């Protein structure tokens, strides 16, 4: 019979997540993870497997949390179109604040997805889920007359995801808050014009 764990699993996962997020996967050593979690190497491996296993677990938890927050923020707004555009510009107030190091999923995709099939699978899944969510809300907005009747929800959802990722990149690049707001306003104005708002 396995002995009960003598540590707070969620606290350990949060500490390890922050270490990966701060340093990136490659630059985070197992010793860094032990230091962050307060666990010895044997305990860490015994509880969570390899460094890669632990990273994938962190990524799964992060993606689930981020998507749940995104879905809640998008769907709680009585205006389907406003809900989507607020999410795209990170003005929805319903998700984890975007830290200076940017999105853990986006960072992981950029650094690892080309050579890591498990990370690539998670990138693809999150993209598909976000695309489907946006397309559903855009369809609702179109059907309720908020946007033009000839708007293609699938294509518009893809464009909005690209805009959202661009805004996230600009935030991470360290440009001034004033310039970031100008970029967001300009992007939103173009989006609104494209759908007849």
Cα–Cα distances in angstroms (integers) from residue 133 to residues 18, 94, 139, 196, in the given order: 28, 15, 10, 21
**9: number of Cβ within 10 Å:** 10
Q: What is the pLDDT of residue 193?
A: 92
Mean pLDDT of all residues in 14-25: 91
Q: What is the pLDDT of residue 171?
A: 82
The average confidence (pLDDT) of the chain is: 88
Using one digit for the tens of pLDDT, what is the confidence trace for 129-159? Answer: 999 999 999 999 999 999 999 999 999 999 9
Q: What is the pLDDT of residue 97?
A: 57
Query: Cα separation of 111 and 100, whole Å?
Result: 17
- Looking at 9-18, 110-119, 123-132, 140-149, which range is the least confident one? 110-119
Using one digit for the tens of pLDDT, what is the confidence trace for 59-90? Answer: 999 899 889 988 988 888 899 999 999 999 88
Q: What is the pLDDT of residue 93?
A: 59
13 versus 101: the higher-pLDDT residue is: 13
pLDDT band at 5 (very low <50, low <70, confident <90, very high): low
Question: 3-state SS of 46-112?
Answer: HHHCCHHHHHHHHHHHHHHHHHHHHHHHHHHCCCHHHHHHHHHCCCCCCCCCCCCCCCHHHHHHHHH
Token duo for residue 123:
């990138």
121: closest CA among 53, 28, 59?
59
Highest mean pLDDT among 6-15, 47-56, 94-103: 47-56
Q: Do 20 and 58 touch, CB atoms closer than 8 A?
A: yes
pLDDT band at 92 (very low <50, low <70, confident <90, very high): low
């Amino acid at each position: 019979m396995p002995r009960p764990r003598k540590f707070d699993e969620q606290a350990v996962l949060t500490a390890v997540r922050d270490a990966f997020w701060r340093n990136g996967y490659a630059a985070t050593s197992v010793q860094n993870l032990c230091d962050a979690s307060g666990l010895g190497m044997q305990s860490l491996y015994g509880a969570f497997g390899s460094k890669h296993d632990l990273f994938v677990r962190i990524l799964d938890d992060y993606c689930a949390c981020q998507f749940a927050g995104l879905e809640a923020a998008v769907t709680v707004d009585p205006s389907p179109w406003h809900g989507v555009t607020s999410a795209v510009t990170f003005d929805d107030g319903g998700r984890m604040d975007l830290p200076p190091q940017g999105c853990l999923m986006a960072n992981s995709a950029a650094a690892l997805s080309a050579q890591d099939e498990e990370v690539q699978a998670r990138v693809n899944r999150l993209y598909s889920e976000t695309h489907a969510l946006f397309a559903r809300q855009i369809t609702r907005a179109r059907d309720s007359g908020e946007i033009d009747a000839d708007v293609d929800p699938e294509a518009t959802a893809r464009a909005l995801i690209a805009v959202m990722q661009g805004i996230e990149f600009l935030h991470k690049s360290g440009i001034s808050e004033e310039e970031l707001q100008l970029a967001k306003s300009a992007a939103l104005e173009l989006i609104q014009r494209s759908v007849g708002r």
